Amino acid sequence: MTPAKYPVLMRLLHWLMAITILSIIASGWYMAGLSKDVSYKYDIYPWHKSFGILVLLLVVIRILIRWFSKVPELPKGLPNREKVLARITHYSLYALMILVPLSGLTMSDAGGRDVFFFGIQLPEFMEDNKELAGTLHTIHSYIPYAFLAIIALHMVGALKHRFMDKPENDVLGRML
């Protein structure tokens, strides 16, 4: 029998990561909009990077928990097209939770910048490559837009099922 709700740890990780991811995206855009002359601009970067790496670590934990736990199936009453869209959305969210921080981490490393995880310097894993760093900067600058679009789709879908569908199709309740 499948459970009615996700495991408690998955629910906690879901909401912690949602708040963290939205905060990281906001801080990234805020930093990018600041002039180089703003003294505190570069004080934000280590926090942005640390929380990005934290998301990368947490998504690995979340994937492992999901792999080894029983999770609720999608409601049987959902139309197939909505089930397919839900699966695509979830796979996209997981992919972006990996790609966005990984692109930032590799961008910094390829650009010759030290990366700290809450004060602990991480080892370099690639040689300096300014061209690659530039490409990764472009990727890291644009994929948060796709990430926000997928997050919005995820939220709209959950709210639709909660407030507009039959009660048995409420998927949001499984994550509360």
Question: Could you list the pLDDT tens digit for every one of the 176 residues in the chain?
Answer: 678 899 999 999 999 999 999 999 999 999 999 999 998 999 999 999 999 999 999 999 999 999 999 989 999 989 999 999 999 999 999 999 999 999 999 999 999 999 999 999 999 999 999 999 999 999 999 999 999 999 999 999 999 999 998 888 889 989 99
Give residue 168's pLDDT: 84
| String of DSSP letters for the chain | ---SS--HHHHHHHHHHHHHHHHHHHHHHHHHHS-TT-TTHHHHHHHHHHHHHHHHHHHHHHHHHHHHS--PPPPTTS-HHHHHHHHHHHHHHHHHHHHHHHHHHHHHHHTT---EETTEEPPP-S---HHHHHHHHHHHHHHHHHHHHHHHHHHHHHHHHHHTS-GGG--GGGG-
Q: Is 155 contained in some domain?
A: yes
Domain enclosing residue 14, as ranges: 8-175
Residue 3 domain-assigned (yes or no): no
Quote the number of domains for the chain. 1
Does residue 120 belong to any structural domain of this protein? yes
Residue 140: the pLDDT is 96
2 within domain boundaries: no
What span, in angstroms and rounded, lies between the C-alpha atoms of 10 and 132? 35
Distances in whole angstroms, Cα of residue 165 to Cα of each of 5, 114, 172: 18, 49, 12
Q: What is the pTM of this model?
A: 0.92
- What b/e string do you get for 64-92 counting C-beta neighbours within 10 Å, with b at 16 or more? eebeeeeeeebbeebeeebeeebeebeeb
> What is residue 82's predicted lDDT score, i.e. its pLDDT?
95
